[in-house]
Homo-oligomer: A and B are copies of this chain.
Amino acid sequence: MNNYDIPAGFRFSGVASGIKKSGKLDLGLIVSDQPAACAGVFTRNQVVAAPLLLTKPRVAKGKCQAILVNSGNANACTGSAGLEIAEASLNLLSRELQVPGNLISVASTGVIGEQLPFEPFIAGIPQLVKKMSVDQFSIVAEAMMTTDAFSKVASATEGGEQNYKILGLAKGAGMIHPNMATMLGFILTDAQVNPELLKSMLQQAVGKSFNSITVDGDTSTNDMVLLLANGAADSAMIEPDTHEAEIFSQHLDRVLLDLAKMIVRDGEGATKLVQVRVVGAESEESARIAARSVATSALVKTAFFGEDANWGRIIAAVGYSGIDIDPDRIDISFNQVPVAINGLAVGGEQEAKATKVLQLDEFVVTINLHQGSAESSYYTSDLSYEYIKINADYRT
C-alpha cells in the first residue's frame, strides 16, 4: 500500500453502509484539509444521474473540499426523489464535516432506475467522518467498485524544487461498446495549480486516457472525473505555458493513462490489453476514428480472445469507420510482426509468429494507412464468455 505517493493535506475513509446487500464497502469519502482548486469532466449522456446535477455546478465554480461517493446504486432515473436524497446526503456530510455544502461533490455508481435508500447515509456518514485518515485512500478505491475485479490506484511524484504528488483513484470496467459502465476518477494533488490551467490539463489528459478507452459521447449516466489541487505541498503556483506546467501535464497524463489501462485490463471478462495504434493518417482525428472503429468491433475483440490473427476483420473495421482510405496501401502488424502489407496477407511463417503475439497478455496492433504522419491510439480488451455472464446476471 505504501508503494503509492500520497499528496499532503488529504484524508480518506470508507464504510459498508448497507447500500450493497452483500455487505461490501459502498461509501467513500475524500476530504482536503483546505478548499482545493478543482476541475471536472462529466458524462455527455442526456440522461444525467442526480448526483451530477449537484456536483457539476459546484465544480464549475472551481472549488471543492470533499467528495462523497457511493456504489451499489447509481441514483439515476430516480426523479425528484433521487435528487432529494443526493441533496440530503450532501447536507448531512456538510454538517458532520463542518464544510460548506457548496464545497462538497457527490458521486454514485451502480444500478439505474432504483431508488437510493437514505438510511445507509444516516449511519454511514458519521462513521466516515470519524474514520478519516491520511493513508486510507485504497479503502475509497474499494468503496467505489461495482463489477470491478480490482480497485484502481495510480500515482506520480515530482521531486526537486517542484515537490508535489499526484494520486488517482478510479472505478470502471471496460466494455465491448463501452457505453454504460460508469467510470469515476478522482485525481488528487498537493501541487498549486492555476485553476484555468487545471481545467485544460484535465480535459487533455482525459482525452488521451479515459476517452481513448470509451467511445466519445457514449458515456454512462454517471461518469465523472474530478481533479483537486489543494496546494498543501507548498510549492510555487504552476502557471500556463511554463516548463512546470508541461511537467505537471506529463505526470497527470501518466496517472490517468495508468488508471485507464487498469480499467481496460479489468474489462468485464477481459483477458488481454490491446493498444490499437493507427499511424500514417492524414489527421489525428481520422487516426482516432479508425482506431476507435477497430477497438470497438465485437468481431475484432472476439478474435483477440480466440488468439486469432484475423487481420481481415481489422481492415474491414477500418473500411467502415467512415474515414477515406486506400485499402491497397494498408499495413497491419501485431507487435513487430507484419501480417498484411499493401492490404494483402503476408502469410507463411508470419502468421504463426503473429499467433504467438496474440497469446501474450498485452500487445500492440499497428495499422499504417500510408496517407500522412498523424497517429492515435485506442486501448481495448478482448471479448470473452465472462463478459456475457457478468452483464446478463448484473441485477440478479
Task: Report which A residues bind B (CB closer than 8 A).
Answer: 44-48, 74, 76-79, 111-115, 175-177, 179-181, 217-221, 296-299, 302-303, 305-306, 308, 310-313, 315-320, 322, 324-325, 327-328, 340, 342-345, 383-385, 387-389, 391-396
Chain B residue contacts of A327, Cβ below 8 A? 46-48, 77
Known: A217-B322, A297-B180. A344 touches B79 (CB 8 A): yes
Q: List 6 tightest A-B contacts by C-beta distance, closest first.
A: A112-B312, A306-B392, A47-B319, A113-B312, A302-B391, A176-B298
A320 vs B217: C-alpha distance in the bound complex, in angstroms?
7
Chain B residue contacts of A77, Cβ below 8 A? 312, 315, 327, 340, 343-345
Across the interface, A305 reaches (CB within 8 A) one of B299, B324, B392, namely: B392
Question: Shortest distance in angstroms between A372's beta carbon and chain B's nearest beta carbon?
Answer: 17
Q: Does the CB pair A320–B179 fall under 8 Å? A: yes
Residue of B nearest to A383 (CB): B388
Q: Does the CB pair B394–A311 fall under 8 Å? A: no
Q: Does the CB pair B47–A308 fall under 8 Å? A: no
A15 vs B316: C-alpha distance in the bound complex, in angstroms?
29
Residue of A45, A179, A383 with most partner-chain B CB within 10 A: A179
Chain B residue contacts of A79, Cβ below 8 A? 328, 342-344
Residue of A74, A78, A176, A393 with most partner-chain B CB within 10 A: A176
Known: A114-B345, A180-B316. A298 touches B45 (CB 8 A): no
Q: Does the CB pair A320–B177 fall under 8 Å? A: no
Chain B residue contacts of A391, Cβ below 8 A? 298-299, 302-303, 306
Known: A45-B320, A296-B177. A392 touches B303 (CB 8 A): yes
Other A-B pairs, 7, CB within 8 Å; known A112-B312, A180-B317: A77-B327, A79-B342, A175-B298, A176-B176, A177-B177, A306-B393, A306-B395
A79 vs B347: C-alpha distance in the bound complex, in angstroms?
14
Known: A297-B180, A312-B77. A394 touches B319 (CB 8 A): no
Across the interface, A113 reaches (CB within 8 A) one of B297, B311, B328, namely: B311
Q: Does the CB pair B320–A111 fall under 8 Å? A: no
Q: Does the CB pair B317–A179 fall under 8 Å? A: yes
26 residue pairs of the A-B complex, CB under 8 angstroms, read A46-B319, A47-B319, A76-B312, A77-B312, A77-B327, A77-B343, A112-B313, A112-B315, A113-B310, A113-B312, A176-B176, A176-B177, A179-B297, A179-B316, A180-B313, A181-B299, A221-B319, A303-B391, A303-B392, A305-B388, A308-B395, A384-B388, A385-B385, A385-B388, A385-B389, A388-B388
A392 vs B383: C-alpha distance in the bound complex, in angstroms?
9
A340 vs B48: C-alpha distance in the bound complex, in angstroms?
16
Question: Shortest distance in angstroms between A35's beta carbon and chain B's nearest beta carbon?
Answer: 33
A316 vs B46: C-alpha distance in the bound complex, in angstroms?
8
Across the interface, A312 reaches (CB within 8 A) one of B111, B218, B328, namely: B111
Residue of A112, A113, A311, A393 with most partner-chain B CB within 10 A: A113
